Amino acid sequence: MEQVEQLEIRIEELREAIQRSRRLIIAGRVCAVVGPALLVCFMLGLLDFTPARVIVGIALAIGGVVLMGSSRSSTEQLELTLKRTEAERNTAIDALELVQLGDRSS
């Protein structure tokens, strides 16, 4: 029973980590769109051109792609670990050989 409880805790931690990783993917996508959009605005003259703003635009574009890619990879790994941990939990539960009680009518 103790092993099952520990596995349940681990499963919950993995689910939370997957949610955090998915939020990072979304943040990466936003940065990967905002960075190039900022650069296009400079080229079209919609925003005042300064070297610092260009650097920010480039950093957002590159950083967004990197964040998105690494978070996606992390999410896939976490999901595999979650599946393995759930399978291990199911095996531990099956090993308990729980007895199902029949109908207890009086």
Query: Side-chain half-sphere of 2: how many Cα atoms within 13 Å?
Result: 0
**Count of domains observed in the chain:** 1
In a domain, 14, yes or no: yes
CB neighbour burial string for 46-81, b if at least 16 within 10 angstroms, e if fewer: eeeeeeeeeeebeebbeebeebbeebeebbeebeee
In a domain, 54, yes or no: yes
Q: Using 50, 70 and 90 to split pLDDT, how confident is the model at 100?
A: low
Assess whether pLDDT exceeds 80 at residue 104. Answer: no
Residue 88, domain member (yes or no): yes
- Tell me what the pLDDT averaged over the chain comes to: 89
- pLDDT of 1 over the 90 cut: no
Please check whether residue 63 is in contact with residue 57, taking contact to mean a CB–CB distance below 8 angstroms: no
Which pLDDT score, from 0 to 100, does residue 96 have?
Answer: 77
More confident residue, 18 or 103: 18
pTM score over 0.85: no
* Model pLDDT, residue 101: 60
